[in-house]
Copies of this chain bind each other. A is one copy, B any other.
Amino acid sequence: MKNEKTPIPYKIYLEESEMPKQWYNVRADMVNKPAPLLNPATGEPMTAEELGAVFCEELVKQELNNDDRYIDIPQEIADFYKMYRPSPLVRAYCLEEKLQTPAHIYYKFEGNNTSGSHKLNSAIAQAYYAKKQGLKGVTTETGAGQWGTALSMACSYLELACDVYMVKVSYEQKPFRREVMRTYGANVTPSPSMTTEVGKRILAEHPGTTGSLGCAISEAVESATSREGYRYVLGSVLNQVLLHQSIIGEETKTALEKYNIEADMIIGCAGGGSNLGGLISPFAGAKLRGEKDYQIIAVEPKSCPSLTRGKYAYDFCDTGKVCPLAKMYTLGSGFIPSPNHAGGLRYHGMSSTVSQLYEDGVLEARAVEQTEVFQAAIDFARVEGILPAPESSHAIKVAVDEALKCKETGEEKNIIFGLTGTGYFDMYAYQAFNDGKMTDYIPTDEELEASFATLPQIG
């Protein structure tokens, strides 16, 4: 509900001195903690030592830390954040006017940096801890390319080597992303590739595959664990990533408080859960502590509907099955979305933390079709100026739907959504839409059943 004491500017920027000094760990407020990662060989929870073979030490601690509510942001990371943060919380005056809605719409815009998205928030943290551990470099996968770009930027800044396995379909459709990564000094390999054993195996089994995040993860993990001085880093799904991304939610909360705005609804797009988890964390925390009953909505594509049609079960995080098992809402690690699906949000599973919050009713989920998402994106771009990423546009679509409901009911809700990034590198997808060539895709029940059959028999 509205509660305005001061005129609200188009863009709320926090002062440097108001920026969060700590990340917020929502797990500390969860009664039902996210299920632990399991060793696929033993079925037992992964130990810190086992995880340390893949991940940096400090990040393993953060991954396993279900207790500390706040974790200090190291000064070096805080300084890097100052180069592109705080991000603005934008009041969508023009969108409200166009929709003629009594709702107040706000979006937290994470696109004002070269990675084009929120991914840089965790990239700099992970690169920092790798550097601090004295490592030579890190490996990772990237889908649409935002994460790879973000990690390249962070590694370049810290002078750390960076090897990126890029999902083949994106590597081919998004050559500009590849060049941005190269400009920041990263080595970029299309995945699946012949540079790893798991890549060779996947190519032998599926010669025409356009790749998936799951494949690329397997390759990046193998590349890190088979070399001295390297570790693997991941841009989504993990608890540590949600922790770093809580900077989004913390800034949002501070900005709202600064102007006495009471959020009613928080909306975020959900692929692996990094942006969503980060944005909603402080609000989910308040809800878990019984302080306020926010409506929290995760939006996913109908073509990759892990929350709305998936199973809550232990699954492999990667196609090659080299990673630990995670309990999550999943479509099965064998699920590969149709290539007609543009942009990110292609991952078969969902962050364990977000999955548990969903299981416990802290958040709800909606699935939307691709063409309605692009229509919402273009309508938004024309009045708000910003050309959104396809991923972010899932949240726009639902925010607009909710604002139109308010128009019917007359409710003056405060709707907050996450605008995770820009669509500058997604122009082929926009072109397909502009030319009327974009289609929708919804997997059949039979397809999902076949994919569920790939779930491991655990628990």
Contact = CB atoms under 8 A, between A and B. Distances in A.
A4 to B, nearest CB: 15
B381 A114 contact: yes
Contacts of A427: 175-176, 179-180, 183
B10 A15 contact: no
A424 B117 CA distance: 13
Interface in A9-35: 9-11, 13, 15-16
B179 A114 contact: no
A84 interface: yes
B10 A13 contact: no
A304 interface: no
B424 A384 contact: no
A382 B9 contact: no
A286 to B, nearest CB: 28
B431 A179 contact: yes
Contacts of A383: 157
A183 B422 contact: no
A30 to B, nearest CB: 34
B82 A378 contact: no
Interface string A220-264: 000000000000000000000000000000000000000000000
Q: Give the interface centre of A16, A175, A183 by most chain B CB atoms within 10 Å.
A: A183
A114 B387 CA distance: 6
Nearest to A385: B83
A184 interface: yes
A416 interface: no
A62 interface: no
A400 to B, nearest CB: 17
Contact of A184 (B114, B179, B382): B382
A381 B183 contact: yes
> Could you say how many copies of this chain the assembly holds?
2
Contacts of A424: 114, 116, 176, 180, 424-425
Given A182-B434, A424-B424, A427-B175, A114 B10 contact: no
A451 interface: no
Contact of A180 (B10, B153, B387): B387
A304 to B, nearest CB: 24
A396 to B, nearest CB: 14
A187 interface: no
B114 A422 contact: yes
Interface of A: 9-11, 13, 15-16, 82-84, 94, 112-114, 116, 153, 156-157, 175-176, 179-180, 182-185, 378, 381-387, 422, 424-425, 427-428, 430-431, 434
30 contacts: A9-B15, A10-B82, A11-B16, A11-B82, A83-B384, A84-B385, A112-B112, A113-B386, A114-B386, A114-B424, A157-B385, A175-B427, A176-B176, A176-B425, A176-B427, A179-B428, A179-B430, A179-B431, A179-B434, A180-B387, A180-B424, A180-B427, A180-B430, A182-B434, A183-B378, A183-B381, A183-B427, A183-B434, A184-B381, A184-B382
- For the complex of A and B, 9 pairs with smallest distance between CB atoms: A10-B82, A176-B427, A179-B427, A9-B16, A156-B382, A114-B387, A179-B431, A424-B424, A13-B13
